Amino acid sequence: MINATIDAEPYPWPYDGVIDPARTAIINIDWQTDFCGPGGYVDAMGYDLNLTRAGLEPTTKVLAAVRSAGWTVIHTREGHRPDLVDCPPNKLWRSKRIGAGIGDAGPCGRILVRGEPGWDIVPEVAPIEGEIVIDKPGKGSFYATDLDLILRTRGITHLVFTGITTDVCVHTTMRDANDRGYECLLLTDCTGATDYGNYEAALKMVTMQGGVFGAIAPSAALLSALGA
Amino acid sequence: MSVSTGVVGAADVLGRVAAAVQGSGGTVVTVSHGIEEPVAGPGRAVGHAHARPVARPSRLPVVGSAEWQPDLGFLAGPIVRVGAIGLAGTYGSLLEHHLRAAGIDRVVLGGFASELTVDTTVRALNDQGFECLTLVDGCAPIDPATGEHALSSVTMSGGIFGAIGSSADLLAALAADDGGHDQPGPRAPAFQETS
């Protein structure tokens, strides 16, 4: 247990001034080839991969530090069953309309389908033995998953987020977590979006109203608090 | 699309849209902060198993009580009123239950604030499979810049949280509706506001 806070905005995180490895988890959102690798879903839609890959290097450093500190480490993956029975028809329709149909064949296998190469987490931040992986069909990591059950069962109360994309899956998950009472921190350099303006706005939204969804901080502030 | 009408303007838009939706056989839902039942619990600012802990304590009014948000003056006719304990209108609320029970799968949303409660509710409903339209002129942001980006995020990747549109287009579409309601209640504008 560390009686310390992280230099964060809009308040020193966490609110209770204690970073307890037994109650703290890092959640790494959707670091999958489909979202940050060549030939994946985001690449197929024509977005700049540098924006979603920017957070990889700082995230590797953070992962090393929190693994060493004994935090719970969780990874999420967005993807659907091979028969797409868990893919809402409107989501499928929209993806086909933009030319990157879920389930269609691409350079990294079938897009956003579980078990395909594009669905794998990229090697830089891949899970290691014993870490928890959550498979989710939506943008949020709580809906239709066992994430909340796992966090409650382990007694986790504090969450630190990395991952992509900031304004979509990361924000949706953080908003959900905040509503559920978890104390949340988003690491600003460990996340990215397909649109830089939306990335910046997503960070700002967290800090509105005194921290309406929690707080934000650069990874250096976390590493400093951990003495890493 | 770039319209920031403020709370009064958005309310005016939602009032007109709600009347048109009711006229075409749709359902109008309002969501505001509120808790379904008071359950006393030790050490909690809010007596509910799923309420947020002491980090940001808040007192939520009980749904249906005198403390709860009163009827919104700009809406008339039958309204389904829902209380939510979260910023998401779906969290700690009966919103999804009401929509599923009525067989509704398309939701038009507006309210205050665009980038907080409205956006959070759209994200949750989208994951749950609802087809969502966020009304640009039916939303009021706290900050115009973040409000714009919240709308932009909806449209990423071909409509990652559905679509955005104007009340004029929606009203025109409703007016052109031939009135055939073989599948009743297909639309449910949900007005959401913070308290």
- DSSP assignment of A80-101: B-TT-TTS-HHHHHHHHHTT--
Query: What ipTM was reported for this prediction?
Result: 0.90
CA distance B112 to A218: 30
Best mutation target among A45, A170, A178 (most B Cβ atoms within 10 Å) is A178
b/e A119-146 (16+ beta carbons within 10 angstroms → b): bbbbeebebeeeebebbbbbbbbbbebe
Percent of chain A with pLDDT over 70: 100
Q: Is B41 near chain A, with CB under 8 Å? A: no
pLDDT at A112 over 90: yes
Return the number of CB contacts < 8 Å for A and B: 124
Decide: helix, strand or coil at residue B34. Answer: coil
Intra-chain end-to-end CA distance of chain A, in Å: 15
Chain B: residue nearest A15 by CA? B55
Is B56 near chain A, with CB under 8 Å?
yes
Report pLDDT digits (tens) over A154-182. 999 999 999 999 999 999 999 999 999 99
Best of A51, A142, A176 to substitute, by most chain B Cβ atoms within 10 angstroms, is A176
* Residue A175 contacts B where some CB pair is shorter than 8 Å: yes
pLDDT at B39 over 60: no
For residue B176, pLDDT beyond 50: yes
Angle at A208 between CA A202 and CA A210, to 5 degrees: 135
pLDDT at position B71: 66
Q: Exposure string (b/e) for A49-77, b if CB count within 10 Å is 16 or more?
A: bebbbbbbebbebbbebbeeeebbbbbbb
User: Per-residue pLDDT tens for B123-168?
Assistant: 999 999 999 999 999 999 999 999 999 999 999 999 999 999 999 9
Minimum distance, in Å, between the CA of residue A180 and any CA atom of chain B:
6
pLDDT band at residue B180, thresholds of 50, 70 and 90?
Answer: low
**Best CA proximity match to A48, nearest among A174, A171, A203, A198:** A198
CB contact under 8 A, A208 and B142: yes
* Region A83-108 average pLDDT: 96
* pLDDT the model gives residue B67: 86
For residues B179 and B24, is the Cβ–Cβ distance under 8 A?
yes
Confidence of residue A5 (pLDDT cuts 50, 70, 90): very high
Asked if B55 and A15 come within 8 Å (Cβ–Cβ), the reply is yes
Using the predicted structure, report yes or no on whether residue A145 has a pLDDT greater than 90: yes
Q: What are phi and psi of A45, to 5 degrees?
A: -85, -5
Distance from CA of B135 to the nearest CA of A (A): 18
- Catalytic annotation, residues of A: 30, 136, 169
Contact B52 A95 (CB under 8 A): no
- Least reliable range by pLDDT among A22-26, A33-37, B98-102, B188-192: B188-192
Residues of A with CB below 8 A from B120's CB? 175, 179
| Residue A152: Cβ within 10 Å count | 12
Global pTM reads 0.89
A211: closest chain B residue by CA? B56
Q: What are phi and psi of A213, to 5 degrees?
A: -115, 10
Q: Is A208 exposed, middle or buried (0-12, 13-18, 19+ CB in 10 A)?
A: middle
Q: Are B110 and B138 in contact (CB under 8 A)?
A: yes
Which residue in B30, B31, B108 sits closest to B76, CA to CA?
B30
**Chain A within 8 Å of B67 (Cβ-Cβ)?**
no
Question: By the 8 A CB rule, do B30 and B107 touch?
Answer: no
Q: What average pLDDT does the segment B5-31 reach?
A: 93
Helix, strand, coil in percent for chain B, rounding step 5? 35, 20, 50
Q: Taking 50 as the threshold, does the pLDDT of residue B194 lie above it?
A: no
B142–chain A nearest CA distance, Å:
9
Contact criterion met (CB < 8 Å) for B149 and A171: no
pLDDT for B56: 41
State whether residue A78 sits within 8 Å of chain B by CB.
Answer: no
Sign of the CA dihedral running B89, B92, B93, B99: positive
Q: Cα angle vertex B45, ends B43, B47, to 5°?
A: 80
CB atoms B50 and A180 under 8 Å: yes
- Amino acid B59: pLDDT: 75
φ, ψ dihedrals at B39, nearest 5°? -125, 115
Burial zone of B53 (CB within 10 Å; 0-12 exposed, 13-18 middle, 19+ buried): middle
Q: Which residue has the tokens 């870490």?
A: A131
- What's the mean pLDDT in B109-119? 96
CA angle B72, B90, B112 (to 5 degrees): 40
- Provide the pLDDT for residue A49: 95
Q: Which of B87, B123, B129 sits opposite A139 (nearest CB)?
A: B123
Give percent of chain B with pLDDT exceeding 90. Answer: 64
- Cβ contacts (< 8 Å) between A198 and chain B: which residues? 149, 152-153, 156
Are A42 and A112 spatial neighbours (Cβ–Cβ below 8 Å)?
no
Instruction: Please state the rounded mean pLDDT for residues B45-54.
Output: 41
Q: How far apart are CA B151 and CA B162, in angstroms?
A: 10
